[in-house]
Structure formats: C-alpha cells, structure tokens
Amino acid sequence: MRSRELAFRLATGAFALALAVLVLAIGFELSRQSWLSIQKFGLQFWTTSRWDPVAGEFGALLFIWGTLYSSILALIISTPIALGIAVFISELSPARLRGPLMFLTELLAAIPSIVYGLWGIFVLVPVVRALEVKLGPFSDFPLFSGPPLGVGMLAAALILSVMVIPFSSSVAREVLKTVPQAQREAAYALGATRFEAIRAAMFFARTGIVGSVMLGFGRALGETMAVTMVIGNNPQVSASLFAPQYTMAAVIANEFTEAGDELYLSALVEIGLVLFIITLIVNGLSRGLIWMMGRQSAGRATA
C-alpha cells in the first residue's frame, strides 16, 4: 500500500517536473535561436516599426501594436457577451435548457481556427465591409479612417471575440458554479431581487471572473490562423479599425518559410519568444486568479 502510493506520487511528480522543464526548454531554445537578433537590435527591436528584410532592418513594434490592439478590442467586445452567457446559463436558464446550451458553447470552442478563418473571409468580411461603407461619412474620425476594405483590424477583433466567447464564458460559468448558494440566500433574505442576488454572486466570484476574462485575452494574443486570414497582413501602425494591420503570430506564420537569412529568421524567433513570455504571464495570472477564487469558495464552504 505505502510503496504503491509512494510510486504514484513519484510518477506524478516526475510528470509535473517534466512539464516545468519543457517550458524552460522552449524558452531557452527560443532565446538561443533569436540570439543574433537580440544582440544586433537590443531593446530597439521593441521600440521601432521598420520591418525590412531586404535591408536587414527589423523592429517589431507594429506587430506588438497589432496583437495588443486586436486582442484588447476583442476583450472589450467579448467580455459582456461572455459574462452574459455565463450568467444566463448558471443563474437564469431553466434546468432543461442548461445542458444543451453548455454543450453548444463547448462545441463552439472546439471548432478549428482555420474554419473560423474561412467563415471570416466568406461571411464576416463582407458584412464588415458593408458596415464600413455605411460609416464612410465619419471617416474624419481616426477610428473610422481609411478605405472600406472589409479585411482589417475590425474583422480580426470580431473573429477573435467569436472565438474567445465560448472559452471565457465556460470558465466564468464554472467559477459562478463555485459560489456558495448561501451567498445568494444571504442577499435574498435581505430583500434582494433576483438581479441583486446575481450581482452578489458575481461579486463573490469577481477574482475568478477576471481570471476567466484574462484567460480569453491570453487566447486572443496567441491566436494565429483565423486572424492571419482576415486582418490584411499590412505592416503598419494605425489607430483605424478599418486599416489592415499585422500581428505577432501572423507575421511568424506568414514569413517563417521565406526567411532566407539567419538574421531574418532570428528576428522572427524573437517575436515568438516575446509572444511566449506574454502569453505565459497572462495565462499564469489568470489561472492564479481562478485558483484563488476556488480556494476562497472552498474555504467558505468548510468554515
């Protein structure tokens, strides 16, 4: 008995250790492969926007801009919808609907990125173009400047939102499920309406809800295929929602195979390294928040 338990703990411990080593190894390998670029450009790599493989000049600012802009925009669009879905499923929906709705969101989360990309090209982009044409009169406004192309920042942010919603709404739903019923009853007993009781539950779950939203953000940051297909892949920094732009993941996917010389390749890998670090931090933080939330609920339940 004892020795079997020990063996089990050793084996699971070894797997956990192997994962940590793997993460470190990826980080190490990315640093090694990008060393040339790190040495040559230093910090400048992150503060300049000139991306010129012919001249051997590489600055990644515009890709960082594109990634952050599209992801933050997606976050703004998706958060209220994702939370709305989570609240509906966990607090409001009749029991009969709950199962099918959960199944549906899981299904949406499982659709491959390339399929979202195709849908983006054939359905979303024409709709966005029509919308941009309608917004033509407002083109003096920096957000709406530029020709109505359809492909561009808005299309990318929208497709990211659609991809992120099932994901963060599932996590937010699970988080809401861990809120003790006693919290809702405490609110009801003081004369709360249903809406106010839900607010009390969401307040209790606030850490975990922020975590679920950030988890979605982490996914949006690294999402490659669908974004590459609709963002227009134009290396420029622009505030306009209509402008075709570029993201970190997209430039790696598009240019990796054609990167002839070592410096070019090294610069692309450095972008990968930074994307790796950012997503690691964002995911780590959001998982941490969700874990804290779980511990808080468990603590309350046994207190």
Partner 1 sequence: MASSDTGATVTLRHPTVQPRAAQEDKPVKIDVERLSFYYGAKRALEDITVRMKSNLVTAFIGPSGCGKSTFLRTLNRMNDIIPATRVDGTVLIDGSNIYESGVDVVAVRRRVGMVFQKSNPFPKSIFENVAYGLRINRMTTSRSELEGRVEESLQQAALWDEVKDRLHESALAMSGGQQQRLCIARALAVKPDILLMDEPASALDPIATQRIEELIYDLKKTYTIVIVTHNMQQAARVSDYTAFFWLGKLVEYDRTDRIFTAPGEKLTEDYITGRFG
Residues that bind partner 1 (CB under 8 A): 95, 180, 182-193, 196, 200, 203-204, 296, 300, 303
User: Least distance to partner 1 from the beta carbon of 208, Å?
Assistant: 12
User: Least distance to partner 1 from the beta carbon of 14, Å?
Assistant: 38
User: Least distance to partner 1 from the beta carbon of 92, Å?
Assistant: 12
Assign residue 211 a region: left if phi > 0, alpha if psi is -120 to 50, beta otherwise? alpha
State which residue, 95 or 110, has the beta carbon closest to partner 1. Answer: 95
State which residue, 184 or 219, has the beta carbon closest to partner 1. Answer: 184
State which residue, 114 or 292, has the beta carbon closest to partner 1. Answer: 292
Residue 51: enclosing H or E segment and its boundaries? strand 51-52
Residue 142: enclosing H or E segment and its boundaries? none
Dihedral over alpha carbons 116, 121, 123, 129 (to 10 degrees): 130
State which residue, 52 or 185, has the beta carbon closest to partner 1. Answer: 185
CB contact burial 20-42 (16+ within 10 A = b; e otherwise): eeeeeeeeeebeebbebbbeebe
**Which residue shows structure tokens 């669908």?**
226
The DSSP code for 144 is G
State which residue, 151 or 187, has the beta carbon closest to partner 1. Answer: 187
User: Least distance to partner 1 from the beta carbon of 207, Å?
Assistant: 9
User: Least distance to partner 1 from the beta carbon of 299, Å?
Assistant: 9
